[in-house]
Amino acid sequence: MSEALEIQEICDKFLQEAGFNLNNLRNQVQLMYWSEQHFITQGLLEILPFGEILSNIHFYSYVDYSKLISKVNQTLLYWRLSGIVQYNGTPVNQLSLFYNETFLWHCSVPSYREEIRLQIQLGHRVRFLSRFLLSQTEIEVEFNEIRLQTNFNNDFQFIYTNSNTYQYKFANLR
């Protein structure tokens, strides 16, 4: 057995024993992804609130990224130890996740319709996570806001606006 293969087996065993449960993004129909690889740690996927309607309190607690950092570090460690590489043989260095808008408008929003309407009418902002980027140097989370638009019949419909991106550079986090 070659030394490289033996080292890889040791790394794989370590990852398994350390509880690195992986999720195959190909099985996540509500998410679209852009990356050379399609695995993410289950812990990171669980902490990303895709499909959830975020009240002010939930939103502000989420953008206090301390919970996110440990899950991101697990994923970065997994990438490094597992030896996952891009098509050209260089290490994987980036992952972008996007919430499928069909699921947002046909699954998430209808189930929270009255709560969203009430929160907006009370003057609260209602947001949802639309994009997550992880690279070797930074994390970006992008949120859109849901608003009410009334038409001439005084009926309302939901629209989304105001994409705000929050960026966290790893150099600032250490």
Let me know: does 119 contact 55? Beta carbons within 8 Å: yes
SS3 111: helix
For 13-64, the pLDDT digits (tens) are: 776 677 677 888 889 888 888 887 788 888 889 889 888 888 777 887 777 7
Domain residue extents for the chain: 22-173
Distance separating alpha carbons of residues 71 and 68, to the nearest angstrom: 5
Tokens representing residue 51 in the block: 């499909």
For 103-151, the pLDDT digits (tens) are: 888 888 888 888 888 888 888 888 888 899 998 888 998 988 888 777 7
Let me know: does 144 contact 160? Beta carbons within 8 Å: yes
Q: Token pair 């490289």 is at which residue?
A: 4
The one-character DSSP state at 31 is: E
Which residue type sits at 15? L
